[in-house]
Structure 1
Amino acid sequence: MLQIVGLGLIATFLVTILNEHKSNISLLLTVFVGTVIFLFLIDRIQDIFRMVQTLANEAHVQTVYVETILKIIGIAYIAEFGAQISKDAGQGAIAGKIELGGKILILAMAIPILTALIETILSFLPMKG
């Protein structure tokens, strides 16, 4: 964590200085540092995915549901990352569209899980006849 915070603070300092003279380079530095921080975290993200898969296997949960939930989480983080970069570049409108796109993709991917959940709940209710 200290490496991430240190890199972030150094980059913030450099971007602040570069904004006065070379704003296009400061944006590139922002994107680069964001990507490097993400790469620092890749191993941890993979560990989390493995732990969730192991828990799902032990709980006998169908892997398609776990994979879908992990994809949804991935979409949320990627959309947030892209939106933040767009906001840093002063493009709030584009950032909003990235966020909207992420939300729509998440909703589309969640429909099969919601359908299975509703069907499960309905199977517990007594049938009126």
Structure 2
Amino acid sequence: MLQVGVIGVLGVLFAVQFKSGKSEYAVYISVAVSLLLFGCMLERLRDAVDSLGRIGNYIKVDQRFFGTMMKMIGITYLAEFSSGICKDAGYQSIASQIEIFSKLTILAMGLPILQTLLEVMTGFLG
């Protein structure tokens, strides 16, 4: 965690330094630091996915739902990541479109899970 914090702070300091002279370099530095932090995060994410997989084996969850939930988490992270980069570059409208598209995608992916949940609840009640 300390590494991530140091990388982030140093990246911001470099970006601020370049922002007054050549603002495009600040965007490049921001993207590079973001990708570096993304690489650091992948190892932690792999551990979390493995742990969730083991939990899923104990609970006997349908693997389709587990896979869908992992895709939703991935879409959420990538949307936030790309939206943040667009906002840093000054493209708010593109960032908003990325966020809206990701929300609609997650909604569409979650509908089969909701349908199955409603079927199970109807089975219990009926």
Cα distance in structure 2, aligned partners of 1:7 and 1:55: 33
Unaligned runs of 5+ in 2: none
Residue by residue, what CA displacement relative to the aligned partner does 1:92-116 show, whole Å, maximum 9, x if unpaired?
1110000001001101110111111
Once the two structures are TM-superposed, the CA of residue 25 in structure 1 deviates from its matched residue by 1.1
1:24 aligns with 24
The TM-score with structure 1 as length reference comes to 0.95
Which contiguous aligned blocks of 4+ residues in structure 1 show a shift greater than 2 angstroms?
none
Aligned 1:6-85 pairs, distance under 5 A: 6-85=6-85
| Residue matched to 1:119 | 119
Q: Distance in 2 between matches of 1:26 and 1:2?
A: 23
Q: Tell me which amino acid in the other structure corresponds to 2:73.
A: I
Instruction: Give the superposed CA RMSD.
Output: 0.6
Identical amino acids, percent of aligned pairs: 34
**Bigger radius of gyration among the two:** 1
